[in-house]
Chain A
Amino acid sequence: MRDWATQKAARAARIAAGASFARGKVVQAADLAPFLEAVLRPGDRVCLEGDNQKQADLLADALAEVDPGVIHDLHMVQSGIVLPSHLDVFEKGIARRLDYSYSGPQAARIARMLYGGQIALGAVHTYLELFARYFIDLTPQVALIAAVSADRDGNLYTGPNTEDTPTVVEATSFKDGLVVAQVGEIVDRVPRVDIPGDRVHFVVEAGRPFHVEPLFTRDPGSITETQILTAMLAIKGLYAPYGIRRLNHGIGFNTAAIELLLPTYGEKLGLRGQVCTHWALNPHPTLIPAIEAGWVEQIHCFGSEVGMDDYIAARPDIYFTGADGSLRSNRAFCQTAGLYACDLFIGSTLQVDLSGHSSTVTTNRIAGFGGAPNMGSDPRGRRHPSEPWLKAGAEADPDTPAPLRRGRKLVVQIGETFGDGNVPLFVERLDALALAEKLDLPLAPVMVYGDDVTHIVTEEGIANLLLCRDPDEREQAIRGVAGYTEIGRRRDAGMVARLRERGVIRRPEDLGIDPLDADRSLLAARSIKDLALASGGLYRPPSRFRNW
């Protein structure tokens, strides 16, 4: 007769093997490598928790120290390849296969290792997509996660940076996988229970907090006049006419400029309360002045941000907070919120081609996706109407009767026509295509597909791709805002002029914006120190951002 509980038995065996290194559920940090050798099996699917923010860094280092003669061919299924140890396990032969989402800080090394064949790549996912696969065909056998504190029963407090943890634990623990948590400290009673202890099998005390990357802190001191101009165009040319209340911002300087212009330029336009009231957004320090000026009603967060915890705790009307008073973030829920409940995504990219496809991949750097392709896509399952969504849908498809017409999410790419080192934003052919050929991938790593992009904003103006009726118009609309790049200089001037007459392209002067008004004095905060002051001293910037 078939045994229907082999996975339960396998987990019981792992727990028994691990128990010899533990007192109750508690494992000593010094024993981590041999402990992991005892509970892991070659070929296991392992989720080593870490995304673009929090990292299970102690467990990552320990995993890189196990003997590859004992533990090898692991299949890593994790959000982020961020720490050096995340790639060391592949170099040492401990891990072989990889399915992941984001690799920002390791973009260059992961590219070299993929080219060198040291990593067998499954796919690069969006966060939500990888989480989905945790429940279907990439369920972890072992999850190595991070929390702020634990009690002796394994109840976990994940604090403001809860992020991926509930999703990873749900998929692993309820499918008979093993969950091991590193915690900053073991306490008698956790401030709130983010993960119930019966889902957690072992706990190790790190004696220090897990590592968090301050990825969402943008120094207003680095914002340029051109970025301010693009922000003015977005506010006056998109947020105002569409009435964008529910939105998500990327992490670039252009969107930071938008956040800092709301209390100044936005206020002058009379937009407070009309736009930018509800957000799916990390706790961006650059949004503090707008929050303090009464622009924002509420914000749901993917994760937290270094230095923002006290400010968030003091603004519970704005943020989601727990019984302990601190932020509750949740990446899976916030990604879902950004996909289905926001009317606009706006973000920057490194390359845009003539169809509007965009990518952050260059031939030497594979930064992965994170959440942008999910935020930056039109959800085909959406059914609730909103003004911006209906208006965008009508622009794209004026002929279908309104009751049968899909709305459209606004997906906006914003940037300067030339990036760092005078590298053009607009290209004939994405580097992502060369990468796909070199690695023999069936799909090029495209961040946002052209058919999802509705607008492109540069210092030269706004291209509204919803109003383009054929690929030629689309190409010329893109060339028409591509500035002095080669793509821009090779425009059909007559066709661009006609597109401008139809409002497909709108220049700053068409919107009543003088580029000479794009001045840093418009920023509601001009430095990190200004942000700390605007928060009433509640925002405590990380030391690398302090220059006073």
Chain B
Amino acid sequence: MERLSYTLSAPIPAGGTKPRAIVGVVASGNLEVLLERALAPDLCTVEIATAAHGFAEIWAAVVADFVARRAAGGLRIAINDGGARPDTVALRLAQGARLIAGDAA
């Protein structure tokens, strides 16, 4: 199990008021994302526990793009990864940001 941790300044604060949200499942090729509204609105942290080693550079890129493009300010995010592909990770993170903002469409 590899553990990775990122703290980034977040240009867009998370919308809504929900304290927490969870998306995805821990399964092979998938991941579970827990988002908690727990930080200053211009900050985002992401903690990753992954079974797949050696992908730190890709995780850093996916997380940086997510925080730059989506409303992630104020969120403490924990990821349990089952070897998901980067496109799935990016999608789950975006789904999580939408869910905690209360737009459940």
Contact = CB atoms under 8 A, between A and B. Distances in A.
B87 A418 contact: yes
A164 interface: no
Contacts of B88: 224-226
A196 interface: no
A225 B87 CA distance: 9
B93 to A, nearest CB: 11
A422 B87 contact: no
Contact of A516 (B52, B58, B61, B95): B95
A416 B85 contact: yes
Interface in B53-85: 55, 57-58, 61-62, 83, 85
A459 B85 CA distance: 12
A515 interface: yes
Given A515-B94, A516-B94, A516-B95, A417 B61 contact: no
Contacts of A224: 88
Given A484-B58, A484-B61, A417 B91 contact: no
Counting chain A CB atoms within 10 Å of each CB, the highest count among B85, B91, B94 belongs to B85
Contacts of B87: 226, 416-418, 459, 483-484
Given A224-B88, A484-B62, A489-B61, A516 B98 contact: yes
Interface in A162-187: none
Nearest to B92: A225
Nearest to B52: A422
Contacts of B98: 516
Interface residues of B, number: 15
Contacts of B94: 515-516
Interface residues of A, number: 14
Given A417-B86, A422-B83, A516-B98, A225 B91 contact: yes
Nearest to B97: A516
A422 B81 CA distance: 13
A422 B85 contact: yes
A483 B91 CA distance: 13
A417 B61 CA distance: 14
A418 B86 contact: yes
Contacts of A483: 86-87
What's the dominant secondary structure at chain B's contact region?
helix
Given A489-B61, A516-B98, A484 B91 contact: no
A429 to B, nearest CB: 20
A84 to B, nearest CB: 30
Interface string A190-209: 00000000000000000000
B68 to A, nearest CB: 13
Nearest to A458: B87
Contacts of B58: 484, 489
Interface in A405-436: 416-418, 422
Contacts of B85: 226, 416-418, 422
Contacts of B61: 484, 489
B91 to A, nearest CB: 6
A515 B62 contact: no
B27 to A, nearest CB: 12
B10 to A, nearest CB: 19
Interface in B1-45: none
Counting chain B CB atoms within 10 Å of each CB, the highest count among A225, A416, A484 belongs to A484
Contacts of B91: 225-226, 515-516, 518
Contacts of B62: 484
A417 B58 CA distance: 12
Interface in A371-427: 416-418, 422
Nearest to A421: B83
A3 B84 CA distance: 70
Contacts of A484: 58, 61-62, 86-87
A233 to B, nearest CB: 13
A519 B50 CA distance: 25
A489 B86 CA distance: 12
A74 to B, nearest CB: 44
B82 to A, nearest CB: 12
Contacts of B57: 489
29 contacts: A224-B88, A225-B88, A226-B85, A226-B87, A226-B88, A416-B85, A416-B87, A417-B85, A417-B86, A422-B52, A422-B83, A422-B85, A422-B86, A483-B87, A484-B58, A484-B61, A484-B62, A484-B86, A484-B87, A489-B57, A489-B58, A489-B61, A515-B91, A515-B94, A516-B91, A516-B94, A516-B95, A516-B98, A518-B91
Interface of B: 52, 55, 57-58, 61-62, 83, 85-88, 91, 94-95, 98
Given A226-B88, A484-B58, A489-B57, 19 more contacts: A226-B85, A416-B87, A417-B85, A417-B86, A418-B85, A418-B87, A422-B52, A422-B55, A422-B85, A422-B86, A459-B87, A484-B61, A484-B86, A484-B87, A489-B61, A515-B91, A516-B94, A516-B95, A516-B98
Query: Which 6 pairs of residues, A with B, have the shortest CB-CB distance?
Result: A484-B86, A418-B85, A226-B87, A459-B87, A484-B58, A484-B61
Interface of A: 224-226, 416-418, 422, 459, 483-484, 489, 515-516, 518
